[in-house]
Amino acid sequence: MKYRKLGADGPEVSAIGLGCMGMSIAYGVPDEEESQRTLDRALETGVTLLDTADAYGQGLNEELVGRWLRRHTGDRDRVVVATKFGLRHDAATGRVGDVDTSAVYVPVACRASLRRLGTDHIDVYYAHRRNPDTPVEETMGALSRLVDEGLVRHVGLSEVSADTLRRAHAIHPVSAVQVEYSLFTRNVVEGELLDTCRELGIAVVAYSPLGRGMLTGVLSSRDDLDPNDNRRRWPRFADDNIARNLALVQAVGNVAARIGCTPAQAALAWLLAQGDDIVPIPGTKRRRYLDENAGAVDLRLDPSDLALLREAVPEEAVAGERYPVQALERVGH
C-alpha cells in the first residue's frame, strides 16, 4: 500500500481508503460476517482510512465499525476512523429529514458517534452536509472545541462550496473535503473547489469513486440490482439512463483491457493520478473487491492512458443526475 496525507496538518492515510456504508445499508443485503472479514483484510492490506457516518443506517454502520474496533483494540492507532454528522432522520419515515450543523447539535452528535464506535476519539470528523441557515463559522467553532477537548483529531467538510470552505478554514484548519469524484462525476470537483483545496492545503477524499459500482463493469443491467438496492431510486440507474451509462463503462473497460487491469482499477488509478492530494474511498463489504481496489495503487498510467480514460466518459454523455432531487438540494452550500 502507498500513503498520502490528509491536508497540510492531517493524518497519513492509505492512498485508497474503505467506504463502510454498504456494509450496513443501500447496496443489497448486509453481511456482518463478511464485512468484519473485509475490515480484517483492510488492516492486513494496509488500508487504514475507514469511512462511516451516523446517518448510515441511523448509527448501524458506526456500530458495525465499533464492533470491529473492539476486536482490534491494540490496532486502534493503525487506522484512521472518519465519521460524519448533520443528517437527521425523520422518526416517522426513517429518511433524512433535515440537516443540523448547529453548535448545540455538534457535540451531541459527536458523543453519540463515540459511543457507537466504542472509541475515545474520532480521527476525522466531517460535517456531512451544511445547513445554509447555520453560519459555517458557528459549526466550525463547535468542531474546534471538540478538537480542544481531544474528542476529535481533525476536521473535515463534505459537499460544500469553495466559499464555504474558505470561511470554515479561517476559523479552524480543515484537513479534508469529502466530495463525489469519479470519471462519471468530475465538474463538482474540478475547477474552483479543487483549486481552493490546493491553495489552502486541503485534501480531497473522493467518495463514490466507482460511480456507485457502475464503473466496476460488474453490472449488465438494472435487473442485476437487488430489489432492495437503493440505486434503483437513483437517476443514473433508471431504465432510461442505465443503458447509456453502461456503454460508457464499456469504453472504460476497453481502455482497462489495453492497460491490463480491471475497469475498477483503471477508474481508481485515474483518480490517484489527478494529484497526491486525492484519496478515493471505494466502498465494499467483500474481500475480493477490497483486494481489487487496493491493487490500483500499483498501476502507473501514462499520459495517453489518462487521456483515453477521460475521453471514454465525456461528462455531457453521462445520463442522469448524480442524486435524486431531494438529496441534490443538500449539496454545494
User: Annotated active-site positions, please?
Assistant: 56
Q: CB count, 10 Å around CB of 112?
A: 14
Residue of 4, 2, 22 whose CA lies nearest to 12: 4
CA dihedral sign of residues 245, 248, 250, 255: negative
Query: What's the CA gap between 260 and 285, in Å, rounded?
Result: 25
> Residue 246 phi/psi, 5° resolution?
-65, -25
Residue of 193, 208, 187, 229 whose CA lies nearest to 317: 187
Give the three cell numbers for residue 159. Answer: 459537499
Give the three cell numbers for residue 176. Answer: 479534508
Question: HEC states along 143-167?
Answer: HHHHHHHCCEEEEEEECCCHHHHHH
Alpha-helical regions (H) of the chain:
32-45, 60-71, 105-117, 136-149, 162-171, 192-200, 239-259, 263-272, 287-294, 303-312, 325-328
Residue pair 114/122 in contact (Cβ under 8 Å)? The answer is: yes
